[in-house]
Amino acid sequence: MTDLRIKVFAGVLAMLAASFMAVQATAAAFSAQTDNTANEFQAGTVTLTDDDAGFALFDGSSLLGPGDVQVACIEVTYSGSLDAGVRLYGALTGGTGLEAYLDLTIERGTGDCTTFGTATEVWGSGDGDLGEFLAAASGYANGVDNWAPAGGGGDDTVPYRFTVGQQDDNAAQGSSTIVNFVWEAQSS
Does 54 fall in a domain? yes
- Per-residue confidence (pLDDT) for residue 12, from 0 to 100: 61
pLDDT tens sequence across 158-169: 999 999 999 999
CA–CA dist 74, 159 (Å, integer): 6
Q: Which domain holds residue 148?
A: 48-187
Number of structural domains found in the chain: 1
Does 14 fall in a domain? no
Does 34 fall in a domain? no
Residue 163 has a CB neighbour count (10 Å cut-off) of 16
Does 135 fall in a domain? yes
- Tell me if residue 11 falls in helix, strand or coil: helix
Does 65 fall in a domain? yes
- Per-residue confidence (pLDDT) for residue 94, from 0 to 100: 97
Q: With cut-offs at 50, 70 and 90, classify the pLDDT of residue 5.
A: low
- Per-residue confidence (pLDDT) for residue 134, from 0 to 100: 98
Residue 183 pLDDT > 70: yes
pLDDT tens sequence across 137-164: 999 999 999 899 999 877 899 999 999 9
Q: What is the CATH number of the domain that holds 122?
A: 2.60.40
pLDDT tens sequence across 97-140: 999 999 999 999 999 999 999 999 999 978 999 999 999 999 99
Q: Alpha helices, DSSP H only, in 28-160?
A: 130-136
Chain-centroid distance of CA 37 in Å reads 33
- Residue 170 backbone phi and psi in degrees, to 5: -60, -25
Does 129 fall in a domain? yes
Does 1 fall in a domain? no
- Per-residue confidence (pLDDT) for residue 2, from 0 to 100: 67
pLDDT tens sequence across 72-95: 999 999 999 999 999 999 999 999
79 or 2, higher pLDDT = 79
